[in-house]
A and B are shown apart, each in its own frame.
Chain A
Amino acid sequence: MAIRTRAKSRTESGQAALRTPVQQFLRLPSTAFFLALIVLMAAFCFIGPLFSASPTDTSFDVLKAPDATNLAGTDSLGRDLLSRMMVGGQISLFVGLAVGFICMTLAVIIGGLAGFYGGVVDTLLTKVAEFFQVIPPIILALVSIAMLGASLPIIITILSITMWPQVARIVRAECMRVRELGFVESSRAAGFRPLRILWSDVLPNAFAPVLVATTMTVGRAILLESGLAFLGLGDANTPSWGALLNGAQAYMQTAWWLTLFPGVAIFVIVLAANMLGDRLNDSLNPALSRVK
């Protein structure tokens, strides 16, 4: 990894100021590329439907290769693949972001308390996290969906349950590091309430790795959701990308577009999410660990 020096800029008053991590992050060329990619995909999924055919419209020719009217071809029922992908993308993105958000919240609360208080609280909460981490997602999905049916809330819950411990571990480790720093000691000595110290002193400084982990979690959640849908465990009514792949299995030899486009879409979004997380990591960590 090339060593990145901290660029200096001048503020209005002429004082030399260092660029904030956010500014640094946005300056990396590859960051802009991946961010643009994600924005494009989001636009495709959420704004695209305004300009395309209805995903349930079966008036097109069945199993037609991509052409001017159907840019991604049609499926076995004569539905336009592109529109189905847009709606499916909405589902995938929504699931990914929802799981990411829930995991982050759970992880910050549980990991933060464990890392900050230590002792019995830590031991207890770590055991809880370990319990959830050991559960295999696919098995949990199979059992839950068999009992409760497959709907988006269920899938989001299942994914969140199995993915939060990994982020919590990171939060805990960071909190344990930060609580030893001088300004936390000063706050403690000055008599601030522990929760206030956790909220204002420890958590903001523990947050950078959490952001990175959450971005990766979003990518992984999208991947897992696609996997579950591919196995037939997804919500049957939604054309999520994994579900589209599931339906495309029978036509892999004949209608290549049914497999290619959803597959590429999953690949691109997961790659972009991971790369973004990686870039975040690069720009946030050096700034934090460099003490002048």
Chain B
Amino acid sequence: MTSNENSSAQPEPLIDVTDLSVTLPTGQRQFVRAVKSVSLKVYPGERVGIVGESGSGKSVTVRAISGLLPESPLVEVGGSIRFRGRELVGASARDWQDIRSKRIGMIFQDPMSYLNPTMTIGRQVREALQRGRSEDRSMDAAMRVMELAGLSSAADLIGQYPFQLSGGMRQRVLIAIALAKSPELIVADEPTTALDATIQRRVLRSLDDSVTRLGTSLLLITHDLAVVAGLCDRVYVMFRGEIVESGTAEQIYYNPQHDYTKDLLRSVRSFTDDSEELYVSEYARD
């Protein structure tokens, strides 16, 4: 693993993951080591991106951090995850609940299955508010959070149901729900992958604005390098359960060290640049 990290005097990390490993059962007595050995840090107010292809283990890593791995005794987690110094691996269910309802907000890929189809938007946002740290739990506060997340006609939306909204709006509702907790960290797992390109940018901008205004940290997972470019301070590149490179966004883009990172960048450039022939990474040939 090659690293371009600056080591200057840093405040205590919000999330400090050391040597994390996650083994998952995949059916009849077979297991896969989804995460082999991952170490990463997220500092307060920072935006960190995790980039990698499908199967690289980025989702599993982030679910381990949020405590959302499948509840099965066959799942093995090794290593350490510290939230503000507090060890989370092996923590009690109540500790995890506290973390998940008040300190970490999660945004997942498919907004429709993460919203209750039979509950109004207003009520769902308000419930998140009531479980969170905010003192104001009124519907007005819910509307303010929705506006913060980029939903301009919040008053109209509170009485509506998820199926009445477009994909981009639903994702912004998920952002609002995550923000309503007043979390210290927002974890977004491919939040815009399911959306059209133009909507993607708008939703990302909403996410950007709200994270800036609240000063929350952001851990963003995506396979799309362009998304990471505009939004993240630091980037980790994952491949097959390990981090192969890390550094600031500029370093990764202009001075990639690891072969996989270079390959990734080259594939993306060949795809978007018409003058180049389409490049297929050798990492993909297996």
Point out residues on A near B: beta carbons under 8 Å: 13, 15, 17-18, 20, 181-183, 185-186, 189-192, 200-201, 204-205, 207, 287-288, 291-292
Encoded as 1 (CB less than 8 Å from any A CB) or 0, chain B from 87 to 125 comes to: 000000000110011000010101011111111000000
User: Is B113 a contact partner of A13 (Cβ separation < 8 A)?
Assistant: no
Judged by a CB distance under 8 angstroms, whether B68 is at the interface is: yes
Across the two chains, which residue of chain B brings its CB closest to A20?
A: B161
Which of the residues B97, B100, B153, B163 comes within 8 Å of A18, measured between beta carbons?
B163
Encoded as 1 (CB less than 8 Å from any A CB) or 0, chain B from 222 to 240 comes to: 0000000000000000000
Which of the residues A15, A205, A291, A292 comes within 8 Å of B156, measured between beta carbons?
A15
| 6 further contact pairs, Cβ within 8 A, besides A18-B163, A183-B116, A291-B112 | A182-B110, A182-B114, A189-B68, A189-B96, A190-B97, A292-B167
A119 vs B218: C-alpha distance in the bound complex, in angstroms?
38
The 5 closest A-B pairs by CB, nearest first: A191-B97, A204-B118, A182-B114, A182-B113, A190-B101
Using Cβ atoms and an 8 Å threshold, which residues of chain B touch A207? 118
Judged by a CB distance under 8 angstroms, whether B33 is at the interface is: no
A287 vs B96: C-alpha distance in the bound complex, in angstroms?
35
A190-B100 in contact given A15-B156, A18-B163, A288-B117 (Cβ < 8 Å): yes
Using Cβ atoms and an 8 Å threshold, which residues of chain A touch B164? 17-18
Using Cβ atoms and an 8 Å threshold, which residues of chain A touch B167? 292
Q: How far does the Cβ of B133 sit from chain A's closest Cβ, in whole Å? A: 13
Q: How far does the Cβ of A251 sit from chain B's closest Cβ, in whole Å? A: 53
A189 vs B94: C-alpha distance in the bound complex, in angstroms?
10
Q: How far does the Cβ of B163 sit from chain A's closest Cβ, in whole Å? A: 6
Using Cβ atoms and an 8 Å threshold, which residues of chain A touch B97? 189-191
Point out residues on B near A: beta carbons under 8 Å: 66-68, 96-97, 100-101, 106, 108, 110, 112-119, 128, 131, 153, 156, 160-161, 163-164, 166-167
Q: How far does the Cβ of B52 sit from chain A's closest Cβ, in whole Å? A: 22
Q: How far does the Cβ of B105 sit from chain A's closest Cβ, in whole Å? A: 10
Q: How far does the Cβ of B203 sit from chain A's closest Cβ, in whole Å? A: 15
A287 vs B163: C-alpha distance in the bound complex, in angstroms?
9
User: Is B156 a contact partner of A13 (Cβ separation < 8 A)?
Assistant: yes
Using Cβ atoms and an 8 Å threshold, which residues of chain B touch A20? 161
A205 vs B119: C-alpha distance in the bound complex, in angstroms?
10
Using Cβ atoms and an 8 Å threshold, which residues of chain A touch B128? 190
A223 vs B97: C-alpha distance in the bound complex, in angstroms?
52
A183 vs B97: C-alpha distance in the bound complex, in angstroms?
16
5 CB contacts below 8 A, A to B, read A15-B153, A17-B164, A181-B113, A190-B131, A191-B131
User: Is A205 a contact partner of B117 (Cβ separation < 8 A)?
Assistant: yes
Using Cβ atoms and an 8 Å threshold, which residues of chain B touch A192? 131
A191-B118 in contact given A13-B156, A182-B113 (Cβ < 8 Å): no
User: Is A186 a contact partner of B114 (Cβ separation < 8 A)?
Assistant: yes
Using Cβ atoms and an 8 Å threshold, which residues of chain A touch B112? 291-292
A189 vs B128: C-alpha distance in the bound complex, in angstroms?
12
A207 vs B117: C-alpha distance in the bound complex, in angstroms?
12
Q: How far does the Cβ of B187 sit from chain A's closest Cβ, in whole Å? A: 12
A205-B116 in contact given A190-B100, A191-B97 (Cβ < 8 Å): yes
Using Cβ atoms and an 8 Å threshold, which residues of chain A touch B163? 18, 287, 292
A234 vs B134: C-alpha distance in the bound complex, in angstroms?
63
Q: How far does the Cβ of A93 sit from chain B's closest Cβ, in whole Å? A: 30
Using Cβ atoms and an 8 Å threshold, which residues of chain B touch A18? 163-164
Q: How far does the Cβ of B98 sit from chain A's closest Cβ, in whole Å? A: 8
A200 vs B124: C-alpha distance in the bound complex, in angstroms?
11
Across the two chains, which residue of chain B brings its CB closest to A184?
A: B116
Using Cβ atoms and an 8 Å threshold, which residues of chain B touch A288? 117
User: Is A185 a contact partner of B117 (Cβ separation < 8 A)?
Assistant: no
User: Is A201 a contact partner of B116 (Cβ separation < 8 A)?
Assistant: yes
A76 vs B196: C-alpha distance in the bound complex, in angstroms?
75
A183 vs B153: C-alpha distance in the bound complex, in angstroms?
24
Using Cβ atoms and an 8 Å threshold, which residues of chain B touch A191? 97, 100-101, 131
A292 vs B116: C-alpha distance in the bound complex, in angstroms?
14
Across the two chains, which residue of chain B brings its CB closest to A21?
A: B163
Across the two chains, which residue of chain B brings its CB closest to A290?
A: B163
A291 vs B109: C-alpha distance in the bound complex, in angstroms?
13
A183-B114 in contact given A13-B156, A190-B97, A292-B167 (Cβ < 8 Å): yes
Which of the residues B68, B153, B161 comes within 8 Å of A13, measured between beta carbons?
B153
